[in-house]
Amino acid sequence: MAEQLNFFDMMGEQDEEYSKGLHVVHAEFVNVERENWKELFDGYDEIYGITYSSGLGFMEQVLELFAHAEFIFGCEGVMDSDVAALMSMQTKSVELIAKRKSIAYMTKRLDDGSLTLHVSRDTKSHEKIFILKANDGRTRVITGSANMSASAFCGLQREDIVCFDNEAAFQHYKEYFEEYQERCADNVTEQVLIRLQKDSDYLRDHVEEVPIVKTIENKKIVILESDEQSDHEVEVIADIKGLEKEMKPMLPKKREKQGKIVLEGDYFKAFKRKHKEFVSVKKVKEKKAPKLHIDYDTGILTFNNKELGKQSSEEKIESDIQCIKSFMSSLSGFYGDWQQSQKEYFKFMSWYFASIFMPYLRYIGEKNNYEMTPFPVFGIIYGDSNGGKSTFVKLMSKLMCGVKVPFNKSADFTYVNIENLKRLCEGLPINIDDLAKVQYDGHYEKVIKDDGWGIQEGFIHYPAVTITTNKIASIKEDISKRVVTCHIGIKLDKETGAKNSKRINESMRHATTAFYCEYVSRMYKKVMKMAEEMKKGNDDYFPDVFEASSATLVEMFSEYSQSIPEYARVLTYSDYFGDKAVGRNAMRKVMRAWENDKKMFEVNRRKNTLTYRYADNSRTYELRYIQQELPPVLEAKVVGSSIVMELDKAKEVFGVEFRKLF
């Protein structure tokens, strides 16, 4: 109610700004009838429509009913009237048209002249209008909330559909359509759609083919509405926002006359030259950059522009699972708690595979008031050397993209280097191998704590960052809540470790992308459902991507292998970021000390304290590492060469009474 009152107060204060007249169609209610989409559209010969670029598969079925069709694709979100935003929106709209399975049919209709397609240059268009005409003179206008999609016209979602069967409505909306087409729409050519099918980046590399650029070259002048005084909230498809950020610095300053943006024939001349140079430099940089890309419109997974999964088969999926099992079973020959290490590696794999979705979920989450921590984009595997860490990451990387991608070096771990890599690469995690402690200490705060990176630009495809290291003894609390950690408490001697690594590498040669492609196919559906739930704004909904990912892996182990290994289990967010999960390494050290030498502990029930004393000749700085990782509920403090904890809380956390038996 307060928001409504504020709105009306604002209206009173800004009468002039909000006094623009509206086109209001006054209509009379006649009746309501149930009709299917064919009954609604059939029996007419011409259709003129304004819609969004969604539902093009359904649109093909509608087009088959008409001998002549003209469509304008509007903008699905509300955007600023900015030239860079407009070009980006048109680029994305044309790309979406070219991706659809029905594109062959559409290009055929474009070629014979029975179909015309336009994209809007009005970045605030929201109309859904379909104007029909029959050769015998009958007319119909369909308007309301429904886009040209199966969901809208097949009763799959609630829509308001209004139908006018009279000449007056036809004349009004036909004139509106023609005026809109002339003033606010640019033509989509058959040639551009054909080229986009061969090269998905064609329009991004050849800006001279963007519809508005072609229009200006032909008409010599185009006028846009200026919107600098607008107070609307800007909603932009993430990919459009990223593309806009690239274009904006290269565009000349816009010229305005009487509140209108005037684009003359030479406006894009210098821009096209700059953009050509930009693309040339970008291509060189990107040549070696791995790009594992998921298209959120279609769910298609590509690596360096080649679609993955086409050659997948059950046999290949089973073979990939065997590669994973082979690595896990090899851990039984290591010194230490190898069963726990198997669980840690499975936990990390579940995040590593899901990391391709994290930037998208972060973007959707931030736009809908969710925290960033449920969608981490950093992972650290740490522990003693020769614990299989590097070999494991190599295997995960090979399963995701099908090739061996070289590791990044310790020196790459700086804010500038990581930012550049995140802008160049996509999807496949950036793997920093054997990170030095001095490099980590000098840069981790700025690199890892930059929670909002990429959100404003709308980046949804950048890669996560994975670190393997032997040099970090513990992860501080302010970092552990942002990073997926995996502590490996096993090791081999160097000679045995080298032999084991060679054996795993031999097995890795047979690894394909079949398992991962099937995983992505299943996860894509779950992630899109998560996004929809977040958009609904339900305060009780928690998007647990860890549960979705681990459950998907367990399902696949169950379906494609003879048995589910003990380490493969369904995990939740708390298994990654709960106090016990984060402090498992430190808790294990304390428990091992209790089991082996109870003299290192002092139990004071009157003061409610449990004191863990380090031996005089031990490295007492390690106490600080343990204290940093222990669950905060223990209220652990370092006092001299001891750690002092709350006794009652320690009983709960460790599940031990801490009684000394004589």
| pLDDT tens readout for residues 630-649 | 888 888 888 888 899 999 99
Report d(CA 514, CA 316) in Å as an integer.
6
Q: Is 458 left (phi over 0), alpha (psi -120 to 50) or beta?
A: left
103 and 223, same domain (yes or no): yes
Assess whether 568 and 434 both reside in one domain.
yes
Q: Between 74 and 185, where is the model more confident?
A: 185
Q: What CA–CA distances, in Å, run from 628 to 470, 479, 480, 482?
A: 18, 11, 10, 15
Instruction: For residue 296, tell me if it sits in a domain.
Output: no
* Sequence-ordered list of residues with C-beta below 8 angstroms from that of 357, at least 6 positions apart, any chain: 294, 523, 527, 545
pLDDT confidence tier of residue 78, bands split at 50, 70 and 90: very low
Contact 188/53 with Cβ under 8 angstroms? Answer: no
Regarding whether 351 and 393 lie in a shared domain, the answer is yes
> Which pLDDT belongs to residue 394?
93
Each residue's pLDDT tens digit, 508-541: 888 999 999 999 999 999 999 999 999 887 778 8
Provide the residue type at 385 as one letter.
S
Q: Is the same domain home to 102 and 41? A: yes
Supply 142's token pair: 């369909």
The CA distance from 388 to 311, in Å, is: 30
When divided into structural domains, the chain yields a total of 3
Where are the strands (E) in 137-244, listed by range? 139-144, 161-164, 185-187, 221-225
Contact 610, 650 (CB under 8 A): yes
- Paired tokens of 1: 């109610």
Tokens representing residue 133 in the block: 């005409």
| Lowest mean pLDDT across 18-32, 213-227, 239-253, 496-510 | 213-227
Domain boundary pick from 528, 561, 580: 580
Average pLDDT, stretch 250-268? Answer: 70
Mean pLDDT of 23-27: 82
Which strand (E) or helix (H) includes residue 51? strand 46-51
Query: What SS3 state is found at 92?
Result: helix
H helix and E strand count, the chain: 27, 23
Tens-digit pLDDT profile for residues 289-315 = 899 999 988 899 999 889 998 888 999
- Same structural domain, 155 and 211: yes
Report angle CA 149, 152, 157 to the nearest 5 degrees: 135
Edge-to-edge strand ranges of the sheet holding 292-294: 292-294, 301-303, 306-307
Phi-psi region of 537 (alpha: psi -120 to 50; beta: other; left: phi over 0): left
Q: Do residues 220 and 322 share a domain? A: no
Q: For the purposes of burial, counting CB atoms within 10 Å of the CB of 586, is it exposed (0-12), middle (13-18) or buried (19 or more)?
A: buried
Q: Please indicate, yes or no, whether residues 46 and 193 belong to a single structural domain of this protein.
A: yes
Does a structural domain hold residue 293?
no
Of 76 and 209, the structure prediction assigns the larger pLDDT to 209
Q: Are residues 360 and 493 in the same domain?
A: yes
What's residue 619's pLDDT? 57
Whether the pLDDT of residue 283 is over 80: the answer is no
Q: What is the mean pLDDT of the chain?
A: 82
Comparison of pLDDT for 393 and 153, the residue scoring more: 393
Nearest CA among 638, 647, 636, 660 for reference residue 605: 647
149: DSSP letter: S
Query: Mean of the pLDDT values across residues 75-89?
Result: 67
Q: Model confidence over 578-601: pLDDT tens digits?
A: 655 666 777 878 888 888 888 889
Residue 366: give the domain boundaries. Answer: 306-580
- On the question of pLDDT at 156 being above 90, the answer is no
Q: Which two tokens stand for residue 355?
A: 């990391």
* pLDDT range class, residue 652, cuts 50, 70, 90: confident
Please write the tens of the pLDDT for every residue from 209-245. Answer: 888 888 877 765 555 555 444 333 334 456 676 777 7
pLDDT value at residue 258: 62
Q: What's the mean pLDDT in 202-208?
A: 84
The pLDDT value given to residue 233: 38
If you search the block for the tokens 């559909």, which residue do you land on? Answer: 161
196 inside domain: yes
Q: Is the pLDDT of residue 354 over 60?
A: yes
Q: Number of C-alpha atoms within 13 angstroms, CB side, residue 594?
A: 21
Query: Do 512 and 634 share a structural domain?
Result: no
Question: Which of 99-103, 156-160, 169-173, 502-506 ranks highest by mean pLDDT?
Answer: 169-173
Residue/partner pairs of 20-29 with CB below 8 Å, 24 or more apart: 23/176, 25/169, 25/172, 27/162, 27/164
Q: Which pLDDT belongs to residue 3? A: 42
Whether the CB-CB separation of 658 and 647 falls below 8 Å is answered with: yes
Residue 288 lies in a domain: no
Q: What is the pLDDT of residue 523?
A: 97
**Is the pLDDT reported for residue 16 higher than 60?**
no
Claim to verify: residue 533 and residue 616 sit in the same structural domain: no
Separation of alpha carbons 459 and 236, rounded Å: 12
Phi, psi of 400 (to 5 degrees): -80, -40
Does residue 301 belong to any structural domain of this protein? Answer: no
41-69 pLDDT, tens digit per residue, is: 999 999 999 887 556 667 888 889 999 99
Lowest mean pLDDT among 143-157, 189-203, 524-538: 143-157
Residue 660 domain-assigned (yes or no): no
pLDDT of amino acid 13: 47
For residue 206, give the H/E element and its range.
none
State the Rg of the chain over Cα.
30
Q: Verify that 449 and 532 share a domain, yes or no.
A: yes
Domain check: are 424 and 550 in the same one?
Answer: yes
287 in any annotated domain: no
Q: What is the pLDDT of residue 145?
A: 79
Among 556, 580, 604, identify where a domain stops: 580
Nearby residues of 173 by Cβ (< 8 Å), 6 or more positions away: 129, 131, 141, 143
Which residue matches tokens 């647990």?
Answer: 544
Q: What whole-number distance in Å separates Cα of residue 191 and Cα of residue 553?
A: 43
Residue 275 predicted with pLDDT over 70: yes
How many Å apart are CA 43 and CA 133, to the nearest integer?
9
Q: List the end-to-end C-alpha distance of the chain, in Å, as a whole number.
A: 70
State how far Cα 614 lies from the chain centre: 46
Residue 198 to residue 56: CA distance in whole angstroms? 19
Q: What is the CATH number of the domain that holds 183?
A: 3.30.870.10
In a domain, 662, yes or no: no
Q: What is the pLDDT of residue 629?
A: 76
Q: Which of 521, 548, 580 is the last residue of a domain?
A: 580
Instruction: Of 63-77, 297-311, 546-560, give the range with the top mean pLDDT.
Output: 546-560
Q: Are strands 465-469 and 378-383 parallel, antiparallel or unpaired?
A: parallel
What secondary structure letter does DSSP report for 64? T
For residue range 419-439, list pLDDT tens digits in order.
989 988 999 999 999 999 899
Is the sign of the CA dihedral 192, 194, 200, 205 positive or negative?
A: negative
How far CA 468 is from CA of 105, 380, 398, 433, 485, in Å, comes to 50, 6, 17, 5, 10
Q: Are the C-beta atoms of residues 570 and 554 closer than 8 Å to each other?
A: yes
